Amino acid sequence: MIAPGTGPNPVRRLAGPTLFSAMLATLGLVAVLAAQPAAAVRSPYLDAVRRYGPGTEREAVMALQAVRLTDPDEVSRELDARVCASLGARTCVPQRLTTLGDDVRTRIIATWRRDYPRALALHIETLAACNPMTEHAAIDVHRGVVLRLIVRLDWMATQTSMPSTITTLPAAGRRLLVWALQLLRDEPGLASTLDAFGADRSADVELRLARADLDVLRSLPDALEASLRRRSVVAYTQREVMRAQEEARVLGQAARGYEAVLAADATGVEAALRLGRVQVRQGRLEAAAARLRGLAGRIHDGQIRDARQAYLTALFLAEVEERLGRRAEAVAQYEAARRAWPAAQTPVLAKARLRALEGAHGEARAALATLGRGTPDGPSDPWHGFDNGQAWRLPAAIAALQASFEAL
């Protein structure tokens, strides 16, 4: 997957219609292109979409960036109107599609089955490649495109002729979009998107988890400072009081959000792990210890096999044990964290610090001597991206989507 911040110069900020009115306009498009065989339908945009696949992600992203989209509805015209016109259909309105001949309708749907999954993955990758500091307009456009693709895929999923690879795409698209926005730490975009998806009431626990993750994002220092600036709070004493109050408020919302996710799915590791971390920040150390020890027991019993989750559980539990004055238990957990993720330096440094505080300087030096001996591949420390919510799931999710692609 392309790393954030590697995109081109920003494009103009989107100033189009609302999503609802845009959907109506999209569904009412009348094709004006001359009929030609579907395989011959070409445009820079469609070429980028059809170039995308395992191993060709970067060149497809670069091709899409070169198109310089400024209006999400351009994509609807390419994927719907152009394709329908090439097969002799004058409109892509769903109700009218059912009146077409079986051969034309079958070919249109077959084309959509090939193009839409690729378009979804390509726009997610391109969104994730945007620089969140400078490419606000590009982020808006690609987010708008994905929202429109999901609306269209929701309709496709209701058609009896669609395979499971299409019917499962709307839910996958919602998650992918949320995770990409988490990667970018786009707080306004996340809030708007989760509202559009009805995350608070959604049956998808991943969306409800993301809602709680958003509150954690809002509790970070930069977000709190931005909130105070918007309120024009100037006095230092007042700022400190209000910052503490706002942090407590959003952390409380996050805790309730994670508890709601666990009420719906008591086995959820991410929700339990993140709730434990929030409880640490709230100063609820005993509650956090109990929750994290429960996860550690599941790891020991083999119920949890994910190395990242095992690492973070041990790391967070070690901090709690240390703050509760149980240094031996803390050292044991730092050692467990290192075993779970050998490349990480955080548990090594923490263990060395504890040994030094105890006067065991030889052991501290021995621990520090092991730094840099971890595995060279993979992220050095999962803790570094923890505040990005579930963005760590993006690479595997995109690979799974790619595996569903039909041949062109």
The pLDDT of 389-408, averaged and rounded, is: 94
The pLDDT of 89-99, averaged and rounded, is: 71
Answer with the residue of higher pLDDT: 32 or 320: 320
- 262 inside domain: no
- 384 inside domain: no
pLDDT of residue 17: 39
Local structure of 132: helix, strand or coil:
coil
Residue 248's pLDDT band, with cuts at 50, 70 and 90, is very high
∠158-161-166 over CA atoms, to 5°? 65
Max mean pLDDT among 12-16, 58-62, 368-372 falls in 58-62
How does DSSP classify residue 199? G
Q: Which domain holds residue 130?
A: 19-167
Max mean pLDDT among 158-167, 295-304, 359-368, 377-386 falls in 295-304
- 139 inside domain: yes
Number of H helices, E strands in the chain: 21, 0
Measured CA to CA, the distance from residue 57 to residue 232 in angstroms comes to 44
Residue 138's pLDDT band, with cuts at 50, 70 and 90, is very high
pLDDT of residue 5: 53
- 365 inside domain: no
- 211 inside domain: no
Q: What is the pLDDT of residues 173-220, one digit of tens each?
A: 999 999 999 999 999 999 999 999 999 999 999 999 999 999 999 999
The pLDDT of 64-71, averaged and rounded, is: 95
- Whether the per-residue pLDDT at 141 is higher than 90: the answer is yes
- 149 inside domain: yes
- Whether the per-residue pLDDT at 316 is higher than 70: the answer is yes
The pLDDT of 69-89, averaged and rounded, is: 86
Measured CA to CA, the distance from residue 183 to residue 394 in angstroms comes to 9
Q: How far is CA 177 from CA 75, 81, 196, 197, 209, in A?
A: 17, 24, 12, 11, 14
pLDDT of residue 11: 32
Supply the DSSP string of 95-115, one letter for each residue: HHHTTS-HHHHHHHHHHHHHH
pLDDT of residue 14: 32
Q: What would you measure as the largest C-alpha separation in the chain, in angstroms?
A: 83
Total of domains in the chain: 1
- 113 inside domain: yes
Supply the DSSP string of 152-184, one letter for each residue: HHHHHHTSTT--HHHHTHHHHHHHHHHHHHHHH
R_g of the chain computed on alpha carbons: 25
Q: Confirm whether pTM is higher than 0.95.
A: no
Residue 42's pLDDT band, with cuts at 50, 70 and 90, is confident
Phi-psi region of 283 (alpha: psi -120 to 50; beta: other; left: phi over 0): left
Q: What is the pLDDT of residues 321-337, one digit of tens each?
A: 999 999 999 999 999 99
- 194 inside domain: no
- Whether the per-residue pLDDT at 37 is higher than 70: the answer is no
